[in-house]
Every structure is written in C-alpha cells, then in structure tokens.
Amino acid sequence: MRNVALITGACSGIGLASVDTLLASGASVIACDINSPSSSVKHKWDSENVHFLNLNVESEAAIRSAINQLADEFAGIDTLINCAGISGWGGVNDIEMAQWQKVLNINLTGTMLMCKYVLPIMLAQGAGNIINVASIFGLEACDNNVAYNVSKGGIIQLTRSITADYASQGIRCNSVAPGLIETAMTKDIALDPQLHEKFISWHLQGRAGRAEEVASVIGFLSSNAASFVNGQTIAVDGGFSAGRRFSAHPG
C-alpha cells in the first residue's frame, strides 16, 4: 500500500528517527527542515531516495507553496508527521513577547498550518493520517516554561479538533507526548547534572528516552495496525505521566 510521508523537523531528534522508521516501513519520505541535513545524513538519504525540502514552518506562504508542489510531484500525501519544534523558558511574568511568539509560531501555529494545507489533499484522497508531536508538558505544566507548555497543550487540542472535524471523512489524527528524550533540543538540561538527574528521576523507568523509541510509536500510529486509533495522545514518557515515586528506587 502506498504511503507518501511528509515529516517536519526531519534533520534531528525525533524527526530524524521518524524518517528512519517510516523508510523501514516502506514509505516514500519527504523530509522537511529549516536546517540542512548533516553530510552523513544527506549521504544516507541520497542512497535511500529521501526527498529533502528546506522549509520554515513559521511561513504560511512557504508551507502553502511547498505542499502544493509536493502533492503534485508525489501525486498526493498520505501521512503528515509534525515534529518541528523549539523550547522556550520563562514564566508569564518574565517571558519576552518575542520568545512567546516564536515558540507559539513554530510549535503550535506551524503544526496547524501544515495540517491546514495537507488536509485538503487528504480529504480529496478520502484518507489521510496526521501525527503531531506534543509533550508531557502538554499534559501537565512545568514551571518557568509557559510558552512551551501552552504550545504543546494546544497541539493536543488541535489533534482532537481535527479528529472531531474530519474523522468521518477518512482522516486519522493522533499525537505523541514524549518525556525527556535525549536529543539536541534537550542538551541544555544535560548541562546541569542536578536538574538532569532530578528530571530523569520523575520518569518511573529511571532513565531518559531515545528518539527512536518515540519514532516507533509514531510508526505504529502511521500504520494500518492503528486503523481505529483516532484523536488520541499517547505518552511516550517512561511512566512520567503515570505518577510519582517517593521511595528510593531499588538497587
């Protein structure tokens, strides 16, 4: 069965791992990112016929043009995986408005715009599958993190809203909510050993996750095995959202 998959934020972290996962499932992959792939990734993608497109998800005009071009070139888009995102620190009282807007523009509005311009193509096909990357901090809040919390919570509601509007027309839309995943975006946390250890301790499995572990769930959601899963947010968080452990970990 044909699967043309468009992935944003594809050059690093969960996006890069998702490219590998979708390729392994037999999909044709369109990898989009504002950054260019590293030389080693580019060499690998060239050998696997991955189509790379430089794309800034803050630009509605760029998204509209790119999706229309890609839909013509690939005769449709079957799967959209929205991984593009940035972090942003600060509480309501001290966050700079420019940072607030940047985080919301990329994480939430960028995800919405990708859906907005891919959905008509999927609706014309009578089928389509969207997977959005949210966060555990879309499920619960973290202090000093207001823009990120709000953007990821918005992604979860966006996911539900798309299902409410379009499930009856053959569209599936789900999201994943990763916990601490060791990627370039979380490297600043690792620079503070005390904070890093505390954050890890909140994950009941006692470790951070790997990008490929999130990508495996994304791969499941993109497959026919998840054909009756719609409007859901799956936490991929090593037990973070299940609760807290107050006694010492054994061993």
Candidate from 62-71, 126-135, 160-169, 241-250 with smallest mean pLDDT: 241-250
Using only C-alpha atoms, the chain has a radius of gyration, in whole angstroms, of 18
pLDDT in tens, 143-192: 999 999 999 999 999 999 999 999 999 999 999 999 999 877 666 776 77
Q: Are 51 and 27 in contact (CB under 8 A)?
A: no
Tell me what the mean pLDDT of segment 214-230 comes to: 98
Q: Is 166 a catalytic residue?
A: no
Task: Tell me the C-alpha distance between 178 and 222, whole Å.
Answer: 17
Amino acid in position 42:
K
Question: 4-242, what's its fold?
Answer: Rossmann fold (3.40.50)
Share of the chain above pLDDT 70, in %: 96
Considering the candidates 148, 166, 199, 202, report the single residue annotated as catalytic: 148
pTM (2 d.p.): 0.95
Nearest-10 crossing angle of helices 110-125, 146-166 = 10
Q: HSE-up of 52 (CA within 13 Å, CB side)?
A: 21
Domain ranges of the chain: 4-242
Query: What pLDDT score does 180 carry?
Result: 92
* E strands present in the chain: 4-8, 28-33, 51-54, 79-82, 128-133, 171-178, 233-236
